Amino acid sequence: MRYLLIVITIGFSLSCQAQISWDEVDRLAADAQAQVVEWRRWFHENPELSNREFNTSARVAEILTGMGLEPSTGIAHTGVVAIIEGGKPGPMVAIRADMDGLPVTEETGLPFASVARGEYNGQEVGVMHACGHDTHMAMALGAASVLNAIKEDLPGSVMLIFQPAEESAPPGEEGGAELMLKEGLFAQSKPEAVFGIHVGINQPGGKLSVRSGPQLAAVDSFKLQVHGKQTHGARPWNGVDPIVVASQIVLGLQTIASRQVDVTQAPSIVTVGRITGGVRNNVIPDSVEMEGTIRSFDEAMRQQIHMRIERTARLIAQSAGASIEFELTYGAPATVNDPALTEKMTPTLQRVGGEGGLVSVQPQTVAEDFAFFAIETAGLYVFLGSGEPGQDPQTLPSNHSPLFDMYEPSMEIGVRTFSHLVVDYLLSSE
């Protein structure tokens, strides 16, 4: 009886999995490719800035409705969510794509290049999908069409998340993944896993790459006001020079990453990107303002760096008779690929990528608010090289460049990746 039970169990498992053929999934992805390219070009030609993705949201919802789905809109201002209900009971997994463009004037010369304009920080700017979010939406929609076509055989369901404001909400506004969660995205039905893909990131064209654990950095920003005492530039001893103090602070901050935190534990970066102060050559001003960015991969180290920035700046200022005001703004935490999920899905990525199609990747110091989803549930974030296969990715325009582009045939790999990850996960949960 014991041996009979084992034979029946194995037979049942194989019969369930046999109903979904990988060849069929790949055929559906190939059939969808022309439509995926068309979608991508529409999104590319019509980009919108963060929290302003009104037409983008409407187009995504229209496409999903055309598939017979019932999308919910207006989540975190312009987000769109839809559910593909499988024909068999099982868990829920999620696919996420971001929707916003950047305040970048496009210079690609593509026939579908953006000529859109928008307002950013009170200025009129060009708007471009310079980070590849147009391709992310198109690939997620392509995967939705594939999964919807085989939904009767899916043992579970799929949450499709189209997220606004990944590039951060405008000042004074909330947005992005954090706001979607705050508004209850996972409150009623939390997926067991969430998958995301990002194109570019200087990875080899057409190849997938992933790493277990921290893959993208946490990003925070700071603003420092250094207050001194204004005086004549010819008599600096009569005042307190905040420009000199600010210069010393910039140098002092560089010792945090190099001398004050454990560099063997995780990398970190403290960069001052702006200093403003003074009106003419012979006037020592009252104050200097500086702004900077902080990148880190470990949460405890992140908090330690914040404390050390303020302490270093304050003590340097005090030593010169100056004072500071310190303002810290939290951004996205580190994007961490769940180790167990990464191990589980690596064979899937190897199958999709083919021989040599899955490569290792170093931690990237850019940030992604996919991290908020990956804190709530197991997350896996995969890179897909955007260039033509065989080209050196270091020679191609990087993400956020006005020349950034996507080698469109590789989007089929993205559709297959999303589709295979979902199906493999659901089948393994039977």
Q: Decide: 23 and 413 in contact? Cβ < 8 Å.
A: no
Is 220 annotated in the active site?
no
Give catalytic status of residue 369 as yes or no: no
CA–centroid distance for 294 within its chain:
17
- Tokens found for residue 174: 């909330």
Residue given tokens 């198109």 in the structure block: 138
In the set 48, 153, 166, 220, the catalytic residue is 166
Report residue 49 CA to chain centroid gap. Answer: 15
C-beta neighbour count of 343 within 10 angstroms: 11
Name the active-site residue from 48, 53, 98, 100. Answer: 100
Distance CA 88, CA 423 (A): 12
Q: Which residue has the tokens 């439509």?
A: 35
CA distance linking residue 76 with residue 247, whole number of Å: 41
Residue 129 CA, distance from chain mean position: 14
Q: Which candidate, 159, 144, 196, places its Cα nearest to that of 75?
A: 159
3-state secondary structure the chain: CHHHHHHHHHHHHHHHHHCCCHHHHHHHHHHHHHHHHHHHHHHHHCCCCCCCCHHHHHHHHHHHHHCCCCCEEEECCCEEEEEEECCEEEEEEEEEEECCCECCCCCCCCCCCCCCEEEECCEEEECECCCCHHHHHHHHHHHHHHHHHCHHHCEEEEEEEEECCCCCCCCCCCCHHHHHHHCCCCCCCCCCEEEEEEECCCCCECCEECCCEEEECEEEEEEEEEECECEECCCHHHCECHHHHHHHHHHHHHHHHHHHCCCCCCCEEEEEEEEECCCCCCEECCEEEEEEEEEECCHHHHHHHHHHHHHHHHHHHHHCCCEEEEEEEECCCCEEECHHHHHHHHHHHHHHHCCCCEECCCCECCCCCHHHHHHHCEEEEEEEECCCCCCCHHHCCCCCCCCCCCCHHHHHHHHHHHHHHHHHHHHHCC
Active site residues: 100, 166
